[in-house]
Amino acid sequence: MNNANNGYHVAIVGATGMVGQEFIKILVQRKFPMASLQLYASDRSAGRKVFVGHQEMIVKETAQDSFNNIDIALFSAGSEISKHFAPVAAKAGALVIDNSAAWRMDSRVPLVVPEVNAEDIKKHRGIIANPNCSTIQMVVALFPLHRVNPIKRITVATYQSVSGTGIAAVEELTKQAKTVLDGGNVVPHVYAHQIAFNLLPEIDVFLENGYTKEEWKMVEETRKIMHAENIAISATCVRAPIFVSHSEAIQAEFTDYMPPDEARAILSKAPGVKVLDDPNVSLYPQPWLAAGTDDVYVGRIRSDASLMNGLVMWVVSDNIRKGAALNAVQIAEEAVNQGWVQQQNNNK
């Protein structure tokens, strides 16, 4: 694939998964300057054919030598694969942008949302971590306000789509919905309980402190991305019977009072944010409207009746795009634009 004379040699690890497929789509849509593209996956998926634009490509098995002459490696293959192969790719000279949780809280690895902390990219030592999907959309919505009026406390409840678990969960929701509507009995496989027409306040494993790992990710990742270690954060993460897009009900306490109109004005100019907020015509963000789009949508902005300096808002974003693949590609774009990617052999 030759899109530019001085383009970058790109590899995708986990190319057959939902996020991997979205990587391909977004690289093509945004005309990322690629001199070549290599697609990798596990031995189970190796040999599969996928389309890159109008070109059919064969997916190869990820191996120790997969990253020779690769400039940028986009990983979406799970923590164990990333722990093993990300250092291999970085040692070979590639800039690794990893979508798993493997490196997010490593103090040597930048955790980046470009609209918030793009300058952290230049600190990379070969690996950059892509944050958790629910964290990404929250910080994109809150950081523009935090810059103007520092946030002291965040309480968030998420309503997360099944696509965050993967294609098996999407298929299970479809099958379960049909089974329930036909009057049958559901036997869950992906989740601990039926997901169709239900809500599950359990995402990832439970920790000793009573929170789930997903909830604690939001706490630790938000502080790291926003460089705000003192923000008090509490999260409740819920799996919802939605195919695509995560929704969040956020309460934020600021240092000083912030009128809702001021928040709307700030967010209407913020990068990556679209304000949909007119209760008079029932205008507010919805998961199905956000699906397939790039923005983080914010609405229902109002003063918190329980806090003098609080705001409440409703935030929705496509978890596969902005919550994963798009954010990673944006990191790559920023690294390229700023000259923070070391190019290998451009005559490959």
d(C-alpha 99, C-alpha 26), whole Å:
15
Q: Quick check: 128 and 331 in contact, CB under 8 A?
A: yes
Whether the Cβ atoms of residue 121 and residue 112 lie closer than 8 Å to each other = yes
Selected catalytic residue, list 133, 193, 227, 237:
133
Distance CA 22, CA 52 (A): 11
Query: In whole angstroms, how far apart are CA 46 and each of 168, 202, 234?
Result: 19, 32, 41
Task: Assign 3-class secondary structure to 142-175.
Answer: HHHHHHHCCEEEEEEEEEECHHHCCHHHHHHHHH
Place of tokens 């705000």: 228
Judged by DSSP in three states, 295 sits in: coil
> Among 9, 124, 146, 246, which one carries the catalytic annotation?
246
Query: Cα–Cα distance between 187 and 194 in angstroms, integer?
Result: 7
Closest CA to 17 of 166, 143, 144, 217: 166
Q: Quick one: angle between helices 18-29 and 326-337, nearest 10?
A: 40
Identify whether the C-beta of residue 12 lies closer than 8 Å to the C-beta of residue 81.
no
Is 237 considered catalytic here? Answer: no
Specify whether the CB–CB gap between 252 and 159 falls below 8 A: no
Considering only CA atoms, which of 212, 77, 73 is closest in space to residue 134?
212
User: Which residues contact residue 29 at a Cβ distance below 8 angstroms, ignoring those fewer than 6 apart?
Assistant: none
Question: In 18-64, at which residue ranges do the beta strands (DSSP E only) sit?
Answer: 34-41, 49-52, 55-58, 60-61
Phi, psi of 155 (to 5 degrees): -125, 125
Nearest alpha-carbon partner for 126 in 102, 94, 81: 94
Q: Reply yes or no on whether 246 is catalytic.
A: yes
Q: Which residues are the active-site residues?
A: 133, 246
